[in-house]
């Protein structure tokens, strides 16, 4: 089984809709549902973003939209497998850090979880992930 790990940008595209989302949705339909996953680091990134947005709101009516978006995001994650950052991912993470791969720490975490689970990262962030040796990744938004 070849898992496809949806990165933050692809999950955001799906939530927002539009032409890019349609391209991603078409690709998703061609893959068995059990092969579509994400990871805890992607969930962390999205939750941090929504929590910051909610914290900025000053009135009750301005809270409605970000809370609605938070609920939509939660439903997406509840509908799919969320891969953990476990011992195997930690070992990959430490190896990537030793190699001094020059990408963000969150991306290194995702790049560590993917091979630990034999997963292909589905991302638009190809300019960073190309720096990770042997990492499988694809951009389904193009």
What token pair was written down for 96?
């990537």
Residue 66's nearest CA partner among 50, 84, 44, 48 is: 50
Average pLDDT, the chain: 94
pLDDT in tens, 112-128: 999 999 999 999 999 99
Q: What is the DSSP letter of 105?
A: H
Indicate the pLDDT class of residue 61, thresholds 50, 70 and 90: very high
Q: How far apart are CA 33 and CA 81, in angstroms?
A: 10
| Pick from 83, 12, 99: nearest CA to 41 | 83
Residues in the chain: 142
Q: Domain spans of the chain? A: 3-138
Question: What pLDDT, in 10s, does the model give residues 10-21?
Answer: 999 988 888 989
Q: Are 57 and 63 in contact (CB under 8 A)?
A: yes
Class level of CATH domain 3-138: alpha beta
């Amino acid at each position: 089984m070849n898992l496809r790990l949806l990165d933050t940008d692809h999950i955001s595209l799906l939530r927002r809709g539009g032409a890019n989302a349609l391209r991603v949705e078409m690709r998703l339909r061609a893959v068995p549902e059990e092969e579509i996953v994400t990871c805890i680091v992607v969930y962390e990134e999205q939750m941090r973003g929504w929590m910051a947005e909610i914290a900025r709101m000053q009135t009750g009516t301005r809270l409605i939209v970000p809370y609605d978006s938070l609920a939509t995001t939660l439903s997406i994650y509840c509908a799919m497998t969320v891969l953990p950052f476990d011992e195997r991912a930690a070992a990959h993470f430490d190896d990537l850090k030793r190699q001094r791969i020059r990408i963000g720490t969150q991306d290194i975490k995702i790049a560590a979880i993917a091979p630990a689970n034999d997963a292909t990262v589905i991302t638009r962030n190809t300019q960073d992930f190309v720096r990770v040796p042997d990492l499988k990744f694809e951009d389904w938004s193009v």
